[in-house]
Amino acid sequence: MAVDTWAANFTAPFEVDKLLEVRMSGMKKMPGLNVNTGIDKKICDGPMKIGKLGLEGDWHDLTFHGGPDKAILGYCSSHYENWKTSYPERAEKFVPGGFGENFVTSHMNERNVCIGDIIAFGPEVQLQVSLPRQPCFKLNHRFSLKNFAPVTYQTSRTGWYYRVVREGTVNAGDEIRLVERKWPQWTIERIQEYLHRDKDNLEMNKQIAEIEALGEESRGQFRNRVAKAGKKKTPKKEDKWVDYKIVQRKMETKRIVGLSLECVNPDPEAELPLLGAHARLKLPNGLIRTYSVVSSGDSVMEMKDKFELGIALEENSRGGSRYLHETAKVGDIIQVGRITTDVNPAGSASNHLFIAGGIGITAFLALMRAMLSINWSCQLHYAIRSADDIPFLERLDAFKDNVVFYDKSKGERMDIHSIIKNMLWNSHVYACGPNRMMDAVKNAVEECGIPPNEVHYEAFAADISGDPFEVEIANKGGRVLKVGEDESLLDVLRRDYPDVASSCEVGNCGTCKLSVRSGRVDHRGTALLPEEKDSAMLSCVSRGIGRIVVEV
């Protein structure tokens, strides 16, 4: 759709419509989930009062719904026939009220309703169009269709929100009239074009960020894009090592130490922290190691400047965990290169299933806390050595109803295959633990036919050792490097090419992926899809066999 034709060719306003149905609901559990929702709205008989926050007696999950900008949700009933055609197997579900709308109309739609429109409903009530709806996983679950929510905004059939301009009473059958149209070029559909489909159009982002009537949820997104585009981007070089001080040290268990680190000279321009993050540390003994971030403070500002780690003392430590256990103390300075993440929370999933063992819990504590804070459905299956070997127990207590423990000292065993086989519909799996556990998860996922994009593996250690091999760098003049039995290809490459990208360095994320021109590879890690293994490798963990040719 050509941008420069929008203003001249926008859809004519609807002018007059009819309020077919008025709907409202209380809060109730979604089928099969421990998640409250107000989406199941029923037809209201008789006159209904509307206040500043919407229909009196209507309930919302206030995490993402409700409030002045989202007082009333409207939806066009003619969309339902189109949905039935697209999804005939779910035809019985596509009926008015299916999207959780308060107002059902027949002619108003995303192509003839504009942001800022002031609309009269009957003789008393006036509402202003404030926002396009941004659907979440609840629509997927309601219609039993995976990844349905993105289809609704890709096709601009989401519905839209109103704020209340004038309170009063409405009835089904009331006439709907357009009172004022101040932004005729900004239909709901056009806003969605730049909100979801053409996100990098800076010119349009700037224009939309100036629309006063646009609700903050969407307007804030456009303002953030403009601000981000305005920051100077510099090419990524070597890690910028930043000094952090150890401000607290606590033995969580006999073999796991918790360390809180605080930035010595905080950067006010630093980006907000990431969920499921890991920090790359340069230790005073010269070693560089990556560890999962357990938490990042309790407030946004604190999260930017402070984080916490949990480190288990490895039996065969190569020096990293042993240094942090036996030498590091409060007041010491440790350099942090970067804090990154390879976890992408699956927003379309109905449920989030975590499988962890031992110290692997550190990868998921902050992520689970964040998910539960926005009322996502989560379960954690956690294998422990014993009751006194659980790190950060007080964090787990905060959502203990979502945790199942398996205590090895009591002979309890986690049946991973059964967990995967019987997990809730549309679940996303996140796994972190020892190699034996990770292998069991991979086998169960394959046997149960779970697609690779519905599973995230977060290894906290990696075996990089193996037979020595040679690597020819095809795009660097055919230079040949030798990789020893106890070093990774990434380590060797960085001696001569320090800008080689990486992140987790245990095979989770794929940042260090290289193209393989020829030769055999011993593939390790989980970041490559099966079809990628013929032409790529993970330089942080995988090893060549004999001699290989790659491109950096």
Q: For 437-487, what is each residue's pLDDT tens digit? A: 999 999 999 999 999 889 999 876 677 889 999 999 999 889 999 999 988
pLDDT given at position 269: 67
Q: For 496-537, what is each residue's pLDDT tens digit? A: 888 788 877 778 778 899 999 999 999 988 888 888 999 999
CA distances, 306 to each of 249, 251, 256, 271, 325 (Å): 14, 19, 20, 13, 20
pLDDT given at position 5: 40
The model's confidence at residue 12, banded by pLDDT at 50, 70 and 90, is low
End-to-end Cα distance, the chain: 38
How many angstroms separate the CA atoms of 276 and 366, rounded?
7
Residues of the chain with pLDDT > 90, as a percent, come to: 70
Domains of the chain: 16-226 (2.40.33.20), 242-341 (2.40.30.10), 351-458 (3.40.50.80), 469-551 (3.10.20.30)
How many angstroms separate the CA atoms of 291 and 294, rounded?
9
Q: Can you give the pTM of this predicted structure?
A: 0.84
Positive or negative CA dihedral for 77, 83, 85, 89? negative
pLDDT given at position 460: 67
| Residue 251, φ and ψ in degrees, nearest 5 | -80, 105
pLDDT given at position 318: 67
Q: For 113-139, what is each residue's pLDDT tens digit? A: 999 999 999 999 999 999 999 999 999
DSSP 14-51: --EEE--EEEE---EEPTTSS-EE----EEPPS-EEEE
Report the pLDDT averaged over residues 194-219: 96
Task: Report the mean per-residue pLDDT for the chain.
Answer: 89
How many angstroms separate the CA atoms of 297 and 295, rounded?
6
Q: Which helix (H) or strand (E) holds 227?
A: helix 216-230
The model's confidence at residue 143, banded by pLDDT at 50, 70 and 90, is very high
How many angstroms separate the CA atoms of 7 and 195, rounded?
17
Which range, of 5-14, 154-163, 270-279, averages the lowest pLDDT?
5-14
CA 209 to chain centre: 24
How many angstroms separate the CA atoms of 373 and 319, rounded?
37
The model's confidence at residue 333, banded by pLDDT at 50, 70 and 90, is very high
pLDDT at residue 435 greater than cutoff 90: no
The model's confidence at residue 351, banded by pLDDT at 50, 70 and 90, is very high
Report the pLDDT averaged over residues 59-73: 88
pLDDT at residue 239 greater than cutoff 70: no
DSSP 475: T
DSSP 495: H
pLDDT at residue 169 greater than cutoff 50: yes
The beta strand positions in 385-468, using DSSP E, are 403-407, 427-432, 455-457
- Give the per-residue SS3 of 191-225: HHHHHHHCCCCHHHHHHHHCCCCCCHHHHHHHHHH
Q: For 273-316, what is each residue's pLDDT tens digit? A: 567 788 888 888 888 888 888 875 554 444 568 889 999 998 77
pLDDT given at position 526: 82
DSSP 226: H
pLDDT given at position 545: 95
pLDDT at residue 231 greater than cutoff 60: yes
Radius of gyration of the chain, Cα coordinates, nearest whole angstrom: 27
Report the pLDDT averaged over residues 334-360: 89
pLDDT given at position 285: 83
pLDDT at residue 539 greater than cutoff 50: yes
pLDDT at residue 337 greater than cutoff 90: no
**Do 522 and 545 form a contact (C-beta atoms < 8 A)?**
yes
pLDDT at residue 234 greater than cutoff 90: no
Neighbours of 325 (CB within 10 A): 18
Q: Which residues contact 151 (CB under 8 A, 6 or more apart)?
A: none
